[in-house]
Amino acid sequence: MALAMLFLVGCGAFEAGLTQVPPPGTPPPPCYKVWKPETSSSPMTCAVTCTTLVLDQLLFPTDSTESEMTALSCNDKKYNALGGIMALLVSQMPDMKVQINLDRAVRSGLTLNLLRYQAAPGQDKIQAQFQPAASQVCCKDPADLVSCEEEASKGCFSGKHAFTLDPKASPGEVLEGTSINGKLSLNPGTVRLRLSLLSPVPLELPLYGAQVRGAISPDGIANGIISGAVDKQSMDTVLIPHIANLINLVYTDSKTDQRTKDLQKTLFDTDKDGKITAAELKNNGLARSLLSGDVDLDGDGIMELSMGFGFTAVPAKL
């Protein structure tokens, strides 16, 4: 019942080597003194030829070690408030199936994200941009994840499949960085991703001040990490309702074990009406502390919510 104690007491940020939320009135220094969120962006223009990759896997942290590995680095400290709270939830409520939902959404073709990059000839410099791709059918039966993964690996994620950019989705910023001896490192910027913790409902998530790194080769990207922060508007209107819907789906599912239901009822169903809402999640002690933001990216005095996860990518065509 460690999770229950954490939520009921509201003891502060997830403790696993990550930075604690500072006391009221003592905001942390900004991560970036120069960087500011972009006001608009458009698809990257390629001087010669861009290499296109498709993300074939998104990996949410499942424990404190992974949460720290995928954390946002800021002023020599690490932040991953969302990763921490989700790792706690999943460890105590395995019926949430966060990673399974992520895998199913990607492998089925519901949530497709492209990464396009171009390297400067004879230099280590590189430009890259993330952008959601239009959804398409990548397997016949998303409910059967094993067969879906096998089918998608031979089709959409074979390294030869063609995708189209989603004209309704905004691309992220064009990120500058380096690719040295197979190590990709991109300077902070805005990354826009399409993902789903609650299959089959996708969400568009802008990650500000995102840091991207991984092992890059002609075969794609391995051991990739994307860490950044979500602004308050996205927290309130996109992320919190999405997580609340996920928790409520497990809570109201007749197949959920009683221990998990009892825990969810104690933690979140404050009015005992048999449903868990975004308002109840937001008003929970620890959730309110974490979901109110834990890091100030640009020094504007407004706290953003840190998060990070792993990814892999394979070659694709556009």
For the segment 184-188, the average pLDDT, to the nearest whole number, is 94
Mean pLDDT, range 121-130, rounded to an integer:
89
The answer to whether 105 touches 199, Cβ cutoff 8 Å, is: yes
What does the pLDDT average to over 135-164?
A: 96
Please report, in angstroms and rounded to a whole number, the separation of the first and last CA atoms in the chain. Answer: 49
How would residue 123 be classed by pLDDT, with cut points 50, 70 and 90? confident
pLDDT score recorded for residue 274: 93
| Bond into 94 cis (ω within 30) | no
pTM assigned to the model? 0.86
Among 5-14, 187-196, 214-223, 248-257, which stretch is predicted with the lowest mean pLDDT?
Answer: 5-14
Q: Which residues of 21-38 are buried (b: 16+ CB within 10 A; e: fewer)?
A: beeeeeebebbbeebeee
**By three-state DSSP, how is residue 260 classified?**
helix
Give me 278's structure tokens. 């975004």
Examine the pLDDT at 1 and tell me if it is beyond 90: no
Q: What is the mean pLDDT of the chain?
A: 85
Tens-place pLDDT, residues 21-64: 455 556 667 787 655 666 567 888 887 789 999 999 999 888 88
Say whether pLDDT at 127 is over 90: yes
* pLDDT tens digits, one per residue of 192-238: 999 998 767 788 889 999 999 999 999 999 999 999 999 988 888 88
CA distance 29 to 296: 7
Rg (CA), the chain: 19
- The share of the chain scoring above pLDDT 90, in percent, equals 48
| Confidence class for position 297, pLDDT limits 50, 70, 90 | confident
Whether residue 10 contacts residue 285, with contact meaning beta carbons closer than 8 Å, is answered with: yes
The residue length of the chain stands at: 318
Q: Which two tokens stand for residue 64?
A: 């404190």
